[in-house]
Amino acid sequence: MSALSQWIEDFEGNEMPETIITSGKGGWVNIQGSKPAYEAVSGHSCLNLGHAHPELVKSMTEAMETLSYCSPEHLSPASIALSAKLDELLGGDFMTKYSLSGSSANETALSIARRRWRALGKPEKTVCLSLDRSYHGNLGQAQFVTGFEAFRVEGRPDSPEFIHVSSARNADTGATYTLDEIEQQLEQSISTIGADKIACLFVEPIGFAGGVIVPPKGYLKLLRTLCDKHEITLVVDEVITGFGRSGTWFAFQQEGIRPDIVTMGKGITAGCFPLAAVSVDKAIYDDLRAHKVPLKMVITMAGHPVGCSIALKAIEIVERDGLCQQVTVNSQLIHAKFEQLIHQPTIFEVRGFGHMWALEFCEYNGHTAPHIAEKVAQQCQENGCIVAAADGVIRINPPLNISVEECDGMLLAIVEAVEQISHELLI
C-alpha cells in the first residue's frame, strides 16, 4: 500500500510502481534507489533539450524577473514575439491562441472548427472525426477526440458527435493501408455520416501513443484533398511531432500541406513550462471575425510570459544548433541500429522516423506480445535507459540534442536489452 498522497496510473488505469526521479541533467536522470538512466523518451515526449539546459534556465530566470505573469486579456512582448515566430515557422498567415496543455489546445481547436461552420451558416457541421488509435488528450472534449476507448472514461462512448475512423494501420494485422484503401475507407465514412454534418478531422502526423503509426507517404496530402473536397476543417495535432522531432519544424511540412489548424504543446517549451498553442489559418480567423463569432477563450495561465520566453529560447536553440537537420542524421543511425534487431524472433517490426521510433514485439505465432515489451523496457532501465512500453511496443524518442556518445549508449542499452530478453525467452 502506497504511503503517498498522490497517485499515478498507466494508460490502462493500473497503479504505477513508485519511481521517484530526484534530479536531471541533460538527458540523464537520477532515480531514487536506482542507478542514473538516460531518458530515451524525453520525459514524456516533451523534454526536447534535456534537463537544466543552461540557456533555458537563464531565460526562465530573466523572464520571471521581468514579468512574472500577464493576464490572458493582455499581451506581453514574449507572447507577441512567440506568436510571430510560430507564424513564421508554420509558413505564414496563422493566428495563435495560447493554451495550457495538448488536451486544452485540442479542445480549443475543436471549438474553433465548430464555430467556423456556424459562422459560415452551416451550424449542423459539428461532428468531429479522428482516428481509432489516436491520442489527443484525456480531459474534457479532448478525451472524446482521442481514439482509444480507455480514455473515454466520462461516458458517451458512442456519441454521434465524435466518430473514430480507421488509422493508417490495420489494428489486427499490423499492415499499413495503401493510400487507395485509406481513401476508400474515408470516403465511405464521410458518405455514411454526411459531409454536411462533419466539422473537422483531427490527425497526428505520426500516431505516437498509438504505437508509432507511420502512415504511407502522401497520407496528409490525401487528407488535405479529402477535407477540401468535403469542406472539413483539417486539424493537425503536432503536440508530439512539433518543434523538430520529425526532422522539420512540423511534421506536416514533410508533405508540403497547409493545415487549417495546428495544435502544439509539449516541446514548445522543450518541456520546461506548461504551455500549448493553437494556430489557425488567418482566413478562418477572418471569417469568424467577419461574422462576429466570439473568440474569447480565457485560461488564466495561458500564454504565460515565462513560458513564452522559454519557448522563444528553445526555438532559438533548435534553429541555431541545426537540430532539425541533426534529427534527420540521427534518424538514419537509429534506424540502421534497430534494423540489426529484425532477425530476433521476438521482434515483429521496427518503425519510425526522426526522433520517434518503435520496436514492436511478438510471440512465435506472430501475435503481439505486451509482456515482452514490458520485460524489454524493464531491462532497458536496468541497462541505464528509460523507454516507454505499451501494447507490445516500446517507444523511443530521445531529446533532440542527444550527443553522439549518448545516442550510441542509448542504442546499445536498447539493443542489448532486446537480445537479453530474447535469449532469456528462448532458454
Ligand X SMILES: Cc1ncc(COP(=O)(O)O)c(C=O)c1O
Sequence length of the chain is: 427
Smallest separation, CB 277 to ligand X (Å): 12
Smallest separation, CB 54 to ligand X (Å): 25
Exposure of 360 by Cβ count < 10 A (0-12 exposed, 13-18 middle, 19+ buried)?
A: buried
Which residue lies nearer to ligand X by CB, 223 or 418? 223
Which residue lies nearer to ligand X by CB, 26 or 43? 43
31 strand-pairing partners = 21
Which residue lies nearer to ligand X by CB, 311 or 413? 311
Give the whole-angstrom CA distance, residue 388 versus residue 397: 9
Q: What share of the chain is helix, strand, coil (3-state, %, to 5)?
A: 40, 20, 40
- Helix/strand/coil for 29: strand
Smallest separation, CB 117 to ligand X (Å): 23
Give the whole-angstrom CA distance, residue 231 versus residue 120: 11
Which residue lies nearer to ligand X by CB, 59 or 397? 397
Smallest separation, CB 146 to ligand X (Å): 8
Which residue lies nearer to ligand X by CB, 247 or 265? 265
Give all strands of the β-sheet with 276-281 in edge-to-edge order: 94-99, 276-281, 261-264, 233-237, 198-203, 127-131, 162-165
- The runs of H, that is alpha helices, within 67-218 are 77-90, 102-119, 142-145, 179-193
Exposure of 37 by Cβ count < 10 A (0-12 exposed, 13-18 middle, 19+ buried)?
A: buried
Which residue lies nearer to ligand X by CB, 112 or 288? 112
Smallest separation, CB 102 to ligand X (Å): 2
Which residue lies nearer to ligand X by CB, 297 or 412? 297
- The runs of H, that is alpha helices, within 231-369 are 282-290, 305-320, 323-339
- Taking CB atoms, the residue at the shortest distance from ligand X is 102
Smallest separation, CB 179 to ligand X (Å): 22
Smallest separation, CB 101 to ligand X (Å): 3
Candidates 265, 38, 232; CA nearest to 130 is: 232
Residues lying near ligand X in the complex (CB under 6 A): 101-103, 106, 135-137, 204, 208-209, 237, 239-240, 265
Give the whole-angstrom CA distance, residue 414 versus residue 383: 8
Q: Are 120 and 86 in contact (CB under 8 A)?
A: no
Candidates 165, 246, 238; CA nearest to 201 is: 165
Smallest separation, CB 205 to ligand X (Å): 9
Q: Using only C-alpha atoms, what is the Rg of the chain?
A: 21
Which residue lies nearer to ligand X by CB, 101 or 176? 101
Smallest separation, CB 155 to ligand X (Å): 20
Which residue lies nearer to ligand X by CB, 140 or 384? 140
Which residue lies nearer to ligand X by CB, 106 or 246? 106
The residue whose grid cell reads 532497458 is: 380
Give the whole-angstrom CA distance, residue 421 versus residue 427: 10
- Helix/strand/coil for 233: strand
Smallest separation, CB 305 to ligand X (Å): 20
- Measured distance between the N- and C-terminal CA atoms of the chain, rounded to whole angstroms: 35
Q: Are 130 and 147 in contact (CB under 8 A)?
A: yes
